Amino acid sequence: MSSKPTPSYLRELIKAVTEFDEAFRDFLRLHEPNTFARGLMPAVFRRDGVDDLAYERLQRQVEVASGRATPAVGLTGTRYEVAGFGVVDPIAAWATILGPKPVLDPENITSACGQMIGRLEVLLLEAEAEAVPAVSAETMHPLVWGAARSMWRDSYYRQAVAGAAEALVGQLKARTGRNNIAETALWQETFSEKPAQPGKPRLRWPGDPEDRTVRSMNEGLRQITAGTQMTIRNVAAHETKQWDLVEASERLAVLSLIARWVETCVLEEADLDHESEDVTDR
């Protein structure tokens, strides 16, 4: 089993360090910097008139955020060598600025946060490159990749997949001329085994309908298209958590494949001169 951190873990760690940095800076605004006896007295002094509850609340936020961000120190090797103390963890040592003979100055801590975020971003790029080959316009159907590209390049992978899924539904509506039915039902009706009806065209895999491969494709398309709508498009649209590169790539590849299949299928429409019996689609 690989000991390397995953892209999702690195993204969470970047978020944790960022939140610590922001909380620490907010807490610093409640203080005045020490301009005398540096190294002997606290690095900062609490401002006069600061509300006790507000002070305690912000201090608590920094404490919690520091605990979440601490793993970044070991992963990035961001530490300070301090005479008389040895190697110092800049996140764990943040509270020393409030006491006499502080180990670090506030600027050391904020600078360390910036370094950690930068190093973590490099690790994230490396982890993503190793996890899966880069997605490009050449590897995905142009419809799918065109809809996903902008969000994908900003690492909003779930939103990119959601956009691609919407484009795929748009392709289906354009081919069938239908915009009067829910998307899942539209997939089911479009690939229904029943003959085309007025206003309800079908998509069929090209070739002899009695051919084993053609029959298998038509039956499979009935199931996979509606299933993809429910398991990929709906989940991407309704979830709030972010997806990592691997799980998003897997879903984008499915959408790309279906887009190619829909493009390959032949549209069958009812003969209006010989209107077929109105049979309810299922």
pLDDT at 196: 93
35 versus 17: the higher-pLDDT residue is: 17
Using DSSP bridges, classify how beta strands 266-268 and 202-204 pair: parallel, antiparallel or unpaired: antiparallel
pLDDT at 246: 85
154 versus 19: the higher-pLDDT residue is: 19
What pLDDT, in 10s, does the model give residues 222-254? 999 999 999 999 999 999 898 988 889 899 999
The yes-or-no verdict on residue 279 having pLDDT over 90 is: no
Q: What is the CATH number of domain 142-274?
A: 1.20.120
What pLDDT, in 10s, does the model give residues 109-146? 999 999 999 999 999 998 888 775 555 545 789 999 99
The yes-or-no verdict on residue 150 having pLDDT over 60 is: yes
pLDDT at 271: 78
The residue-averaged pLDDT of 70-99 equals 92
Q: What is the mean pLDDT of the chain?
A: 90
Q: Could you give the dihedral angle defined by the CA atoms of residues 193, 195, 200 and 203, in that order, rounded to the nearest 10 degrees?
A: 60
pTM flag (> 0.85): no
How many Cβ atoms from other residues are within 10 Å of residue 273's Cβ? 5
Listed by start position, the domains of the chain span 7-131, 142-274
pLDDT at 153: 86
